[in-house]
Amino acid sequence: MNALFNQIQSAWQWLSAAAHWQGPDGIPTRLLEHLEYSAFALFFAILVALPLGLFVGHSGRGGFIVASLANSLRALPTLGLVVLAAVLSTGDPTVPVLIPVALLAVAPILVNTYEGIRQVDPDLRDAAAGMGMNPWQVLLRAEIPVALPLILLGLRTAAIQVVATATVAAYAGLGGLGRYAIDGLAVSDYPQVVGGAVIVVLLAVVVQLLFVALRRLVLSPGLRNSHDRS
């Protein structure tokens, strides 16, 4: 118990030291790098998974492919692929290194988008089509609004995974908050290791809270309450 308290105290001292909040290795710089990596990986994942999930859910074809692809992506050895991408890269390794991180985020977005669209009441689709909507309008005006709670859940899960997993970029020589773990372990500076881990955890909590706020902002109270009861 005393050892744990001492580690926490040492980490707090490291976090509160003014020297660690300035310069190229300072917390603001590393945090900004980490946010840039996370934003790129999440954007790539959304670009791949969201349209595919919408198409498969709307068309009703390819559900088995979605499940198989999601399970395959979850099984990818992210750290191994990051290191391999860095070794094989001949130029700036940033994009190749972050693609495995992005692939990890594809699964929750793809599955939740597909399931959200698939679970829309068929009577609602029929009613929308009966009002003269074409298939694209049915998707945009009827299916997506109803499926939005599950879609947001997938995005939230993916964002938290990306924020946590982007630390592995440091293994390939990039920056970000993972540098505190790599550099700290290299010189047995455990307060730095714990302090960096605390920042990652706090960042994940902030992401969680942002998505809670976004959910309250974009979902109507009726849809939000209905989904909470289900």
**Residue 83 pLDDT > 80:** yes
- What is d(CA 200, CA 223) in angstroms, rounded to the nearest whole number? 32
Query: Under the phi-then-psi rule, with left for phi > 0, alpha for psi from -120 to 50, and beta for the rest, what region is 169?
Result: alpha
pLDDT tens digits along 167-202: 999 988 899 999 999 999 999 898 999 999 999 999
Q: Given pLDDT bands bounded at 50, 70 and 90, which one contains residue 166?
A: very high
Chain centre distance of CA 172: 20
pTM: 0.90
Containing 171, the helix (H) or strand (E) segment is: none
pLDDT at res. 225: 61
Alpha-carbon distances of 207 from 107, 158, 227, rounded to whole Å: 18, 10, 21
pLDDT tier for residue 230 given thresholds of 50, 70 and 90? low
Q: State mean pLDDT over 68-85.
A: 85
**Distance in angstroms (rounded) separating the CA atoms of residues 85 and 48:** 19
Q: For the chain, what's the residue count?
A: 230
Sorted by where each starts, the structural domains of the chain and their CATH numbers stand as 6-229 (1.10.3720.10)
How far is it, in rounded angstroms, from Cα 198 to Cα 205? 11
pLDDT in tens, 33-61: 999 999 999 999 999 999 999 999 998 88
